[in-house]
Amino acid sequence: MTPHPQIRDLVLIGGGHAHALVARGWGMDPLPGTRLTLINPDPVAPYTGMLPGLVAGHYRREELMIDLVRLARFSGARLILDRATGIDPKARLIHLADRPPLAYDLAAVDIGITSDLPDLPGAADHAVAAKPLGAYAARWEGFLARRLAYPRVVILGAGLGGVELALATAHRLKAAGVRGEVTLLDRGDSPMPDLAASARRTVLAALQASRVTLQLRATASRPKAGVFAVRAAPILLHNLRASLSGGPLRRFKPQSDYLKLVSLGAQSAVASKWGITLHGPRFWQMKDRIDRAFMQKFGPYPAMAEVKAPTPATKGLAAFLDQRPLCGGCGAKLGPGVLSAALDPLPPPMRAEVLSGPRDDAAILRLPKGVQVLTTDHLRAFSHDPRLMARLAALHALGDIWAMGAVPQVALAQVTLPRLGPDLQTRMLAEIMAEAAATFRAAGADVVGGHSSEGAELTIGFTVTGTAETPVTKTGARPGDALILTKPLGSGIILAAEMAMAQSEPLMLGEVWAACIAQMSRPQGSAAAILVPHARAMTDVTGFGLAGHLLELLTTAATLQLPAIPLMPGAAELAEMGQASSLQPANQAAVSWRMTAPDDPRVALLTDPQTCGGLLAAVPAELAAGLVAQLKAAGHDAALIGSVTEGAPHLTITA
């Protein structure tokens, strides 16, 4: 629960170095009453100082990437993965590429540099912009993987950055045993004009020794001063806090001269300050220590205070508090055992038009023609982005409608907002309802009302109706039927790892999380349309995991091929590391006595609670391959994962 109501919006546009340090400082000491938002197109941001080392082969990619998803979790920021396209200061709106404008009270801009490729013949096809750095790093690794017999690399711009890049490129090619050409072009009369003459001579000698061809003539290039962004961060953080709280501002005074460390390709560097130049391996080691110290700020974050049981306390409270933190999404559902204990004693429906019981995916009501399907679902927020949560909550609620072969009809919203000031309350509710309306309308349904309240944290739910001539239920699977899954597994474990700010090298957790969100955001309506005419039984895979929901379908046994089950990127690696959703142990306990499985970490993902999970369908075996092909053609990561077999309800997992 937020201890103080949030009343103003601070938006950081761009995940540059200064904003990364501001967000880290904010996490250490947030300003009560302010909601922090970070906008960046990608879930990770590269650290400029280590790019030449990556190109030269001294660093791995993950060593120079700032994970903005982990950083946002630590700082309590709302992370929006999008590109800002404009700012309207009068309306106080930030325009974004892929979503509606975002309101703000105070904004800061740190988007870094994006190279503008010259208007030269062939530039669009053959040139790669060095900024943004993330895209350049990926293209460089792809270039190396091509293993050209005689690669030719031309670098435009002989400032410090271009020179470092040229030397790193030459070193990497030489280390790989590849003969090639590296050419450095600049429009100026002299390279590195901001470098002392003695340092320039040393670097030029290194270029010559590395067989880098330097061609000059024209105007001077822009000097490199990225170090200022890092050193300005404490002043920026102070001034943002002061602007929001009414305190005095501070002026940033950059140094008239600063230490320049220029890497020379191999593990050697030039150091220059006050006209003094030194070079050698020890200065590369100095640069390496400085760079790693910066990146370490975004490694293990300071531990949050743990909730401890008071003394004295009721027996068992301490053990309960030591359990995994409660997950969001379907990870916050009650366990299967608790639900069974509550639902099993309920009497069967007394009204003749009610065709289902409380254990079904949705209620089925008989109409004069066909049936109406009715379901409700809500999600405890696992993201600080209410628009994202609204979309996912809507898709999650629609899952039951699609699983029963119904056409979505109308939706009622149930929204619990955290404590907010009137302006932020209006903004948040408007974002939620606008995104919900767009998501349901895309599925063919209308939002016709709902209920709102104020509570401890953001929770969004929807009650949805749909219509069908004949619903697809959980019963009907026969021995010999094939089992099709339309989405990969892993949302529960990935959301849990993100909430815990898990370090998962060599995985970049931010990229894993972003890929997970992209999977969760895919509607299943088109998948249902393909499967419904042929499915003998179908359900959506949500809180109980694949194994739990499959056992609900079965009156006989089934076999699953573990290698055939699609997994989200990073899910298997996180399982290997011992990560798990808070609901997974309860799911495992509910099915373990009816499941035979190999000793494999991936088995835990069969009981991973899914939010916005895929459809699980039992279909005639002879149709399975064709249906999977249709699903893939429609953009779904579908797979044939097993079959229904003879015997008592039991799952056999094969490796």
Which strand (E) or helix (H) includes residue 51? helix 51-56
What is the rounded distance in angstroms from the CA atom of residue 42 to the CA atom of residue 44?
Answer: 5
Query: Given the structure tokens 């979309």, which residue do they identify?
Result: 391
From the CB of residue 565, how many other CB atoms can be counted at a distance below 10 Å?
19
CA distances from 145 to 57, 141, 435, 506 (A): 13, 6, 42, 19
Site of tokens 């300050």: 273
Say if CB 615 and CB 465 are below 8 A apart: no
Instruction: Report residue 522 CA to chain centroid gap.
Output: 14
Single-letter amino acid, residue 259: L
Q: What are the tokens at 156? A: 């435009």
Q: What is the DSSP letter of 469?
A: S
Between CA 371 and CA 354 the distance in angstroms is: 10
> Which residue in the block uniquely carries the two structure tokens 């019963």?
475
Q: Which amino acid is residue 462, in one-letter code? A: F
Angstrom distance (rounded) from CA 199 to CA 136:
27
CA atoms of 184 and 329, how far apart (whole Å): 52
Listed in sequence order, the residues at least 6 apart from 337 whose beta carbon sits closer than 8 Å to its beta carbon are 586, 589, 590
H or E segment to which residue 585 belongs: helix 584-591
State which amino acid sits at residue 214: L
| DSSP label at residue 5 | -
CA dist 272 and 427 (Å) reads: 51
Quote the CA–CA distance of 210 and 134 in Å, as a whole number. Answer: 26
> For residue 464, is it left (φ>0), alpha (ψ between -120 and 50) or beta?
beta
Residue 266: CA atoms inside 13 Å, Cβ hemisphere, count? 12
Residue 452 C-beta-side C-alpha neighbours within 13 Å:
11
Q: Which residues pair with 20 in a beta bridge?
A: none
Rg, the chain, Cα only = 29
- In Å, what is the CA distance from 411 to each residue of 61, 394, 436? 45, 9, 9
User: Residue 80 phi/psi, 5° resolution?
Assistant: -115, 115
How far, CA to CA in Å, does 631 sit from each of 559, 560, 627? Answer: 22, 20, 6
Q: Which residue in the list 327, 330, 516, 612 is annotated as catalytic?
A: 330
Compute the half-sphere exposure of residue 268: CA atoms within 13 Å on the CB side of its CA: 13
CA distance to 100, 336, 388, 616, per residue, from 431 (Å): 9, 33, 9, 32
DSSP H/E element including 373:
strand 371-380
Token pair in block for residue 17:
């170095």
* Cβ contacts of 296 within 8 Å, gap of 6 or more: none
Active site (annotated) includes residue 330: yes
Q: What is the DSSP letter of 162?
A: H
Task: Give the active site residues.
Answer: 330
